[in-house]
């Protein structure tokens, strides 16, 4: 083994330091923003084949969007024991899914314009208000659901804080996290979520912790 590849006592790895650092960052997640870390982005692009070969050993796929400069990991679809993702992530709740889907539409509509997509707390609250069950008027619960949804999307870095209070920038990673073939599919998915909530009488709580349909689109790369 080449001595420059030996980074610590007992090291049997073959990757150089920058590739190992890239692997750690990818596994730590939720994604790599090439605009924010150009050196790391270059490493991933240069060594994507070798990185994928390693990741395949642990049932993970490397997804790279060169246009948006986003790289992230997605679990491989395989029906076998002990093949689940190393880090299991809690599925999005209904309000989180609704907000993420609506922001996904906004992101695609602004694609190629060179402008950032932003959302305010008031805008997020308005979106969730549109999807409340008929007759629901609990504004306190709506406020709580809005704050919880924003907090979860912030935690996943699907939205990013700005200098302005209660103003957020929508991350380009959202397009990979919710991998629809076409945004034209999203309205039907939103309608299915609303229908699923209406099937749960007497509660304002989400119908499920994931989604109200069997479509796995919202359980994307790292959600």
| CATH code for the domain of 9 | 1.10.10
Q: Give me the pLDDT at residue 206, please.
A: 34
User: In this structure, what token pair is assigned to residue 146?
Assistant: 């809005």
This model's pTM is above 0.85: no
Q: Which of 155, 154, 171, 165 is nearest to 103 (CA)?
A: 171
Q: Give me the pLDDT at residue 179, please.
A: 67
Does residue 136 fall inside a structural domain?
Answer: yes
Whole-angstrom distance, CA of residue 20 vs CA of residue 39: 13
The CATH number covering residue 155 comes to 1.10.10.10
Do both 28 and 108 map to the same domain?
no
Do both 68 and 107 map to the same domain?
no
Does residue 165 fall inside a structural domain?
Answer: yes
Do both 100 and 182 map to the same domain?
yes
Q: Give me the pLDDT at residue 133, please.
A: 73
Do both 70 and 140 map to the same domain?
no
Does residue 88 fall inside a structural domain?
Answer: no
* pLDDT (tens place) for every residue of the chain, 223 residues total: 445 678 999 999 999 999 999 999 999 988 999 999 999 999 999 999 999 999 999 999 999 999 889 999 988 888 888 777 666 567 788 889 889 989 998 988 887 777 889 999 999 999 999 888 766 677 899 999 999 999 999 999 999 999 999 999 999 998 888 766 555 666 676 677 666 655 554 443 333 333 333 344 444 555 5
Q: Supply the range of the domain harboring residue 33.
A: 3-75
Does residue 9 fall inside a structural domain?
Answer: yes
Q: Give me the pLDDT at residue 78, please.
A: 85
Does residue 86 fall inside a structural domain?
Answer: no
Do both 57 and 110 map to the same domain?
no
Among 47, 75, 103, the domain boundary falls at: 75
Does residue 210 fall inside a structural domain?
Answer: no
Do both 70 and 98 map to the same domain?
no
Does residue 207 fall inside a structural domain?
Answer: no
Number of domains in the chain: 2
Whole-angstrom distance, CA of residue 17 vs CA of residue 19: 6
Q: Give me the pLDDT at residue 197, please.
A: 57
Does residue 216 fall inside a structural domain?
Answer: no
Q: Which of 34, 3, 5, 29 is nearest to 17 (CA)?
A: 5
Q: Give me the pLDDT at residue 11, please.
A: 92
Do both 7 and 70 map to the same domain?
yes
Do both 22 and 103 map to the same domain?
no
Do both 70 and 102 map to the same domain?
no
Name every residue whose Cβ is closer than 8 Å to that of residue 117 and which is 6 or more positions away in sequence.
Answer: 103, 106, 107, 110, 169, 170
3-state secondary structure the chain: CCHHHCCCCCCCCCCCHHHHHHHHHHHHCCCEECCCCHHHHHHHHHCHHHHHHHHHCCCEEEEEECCCCEEEEEECCCCCCCCCCCCCCCCCCHHHHHHHHHHHHHHHHCCCCCCCCEEEHHHHHHHHHHCCCCCCCCHHHHHHHHHHHHHHHHHCCCEEECCCCCEEEECCCHHHHCCCCCHHHHHHHHHHHHHHHHCCCCCCCCCCCCCCCCCCCCCCCCC
């Amino acid at each position: 083994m080449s001595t420059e590849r030996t980074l610590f006592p007992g090291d049997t790895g073959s990757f150089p330091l920058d590739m190992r650092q890239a692997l750690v960052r990818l596994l730590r997640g939720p994604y790599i923003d090439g605009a924010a870390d150009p050196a790391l982005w270059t490493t991933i692009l240069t060594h994507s084949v070798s990185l994928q070969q390693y990741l395949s050993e642990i049932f993970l796929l490397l997804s790279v969007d060169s246009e948006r400069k986003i790289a992230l990991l997605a679990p491989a679809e395989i029906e076998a024991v002990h093949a689940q993702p190393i880090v299991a992530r809690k599925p999005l709740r209904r309000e989180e899914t609704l907000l993420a889907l609506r922001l996904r539409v906004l992101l695609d509509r602004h694609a190629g314009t060179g402008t950032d997509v932003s959302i305010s707390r008031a805008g997020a609250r308005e979106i969730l208000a549109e999807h409340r069950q008929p007759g629901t008027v609990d504004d306190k619960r709506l406020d709580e659901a809005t704050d919880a949804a924003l907090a979860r999307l912030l935690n996943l870095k699907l939205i990013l804080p700005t200098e302005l209070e209660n103003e957020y920038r929508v991350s380009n990673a959202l397009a990979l996290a919710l991998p629809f073939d076409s945004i034209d599919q999203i309205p039907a998915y939103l309608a299915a979520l609303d229908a699923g909530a209406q099937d749960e009488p007497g509660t304002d709580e989400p119908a499920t912790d994931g989604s109200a349909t069997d479509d796995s689109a919202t359980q994307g790369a790292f959600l």
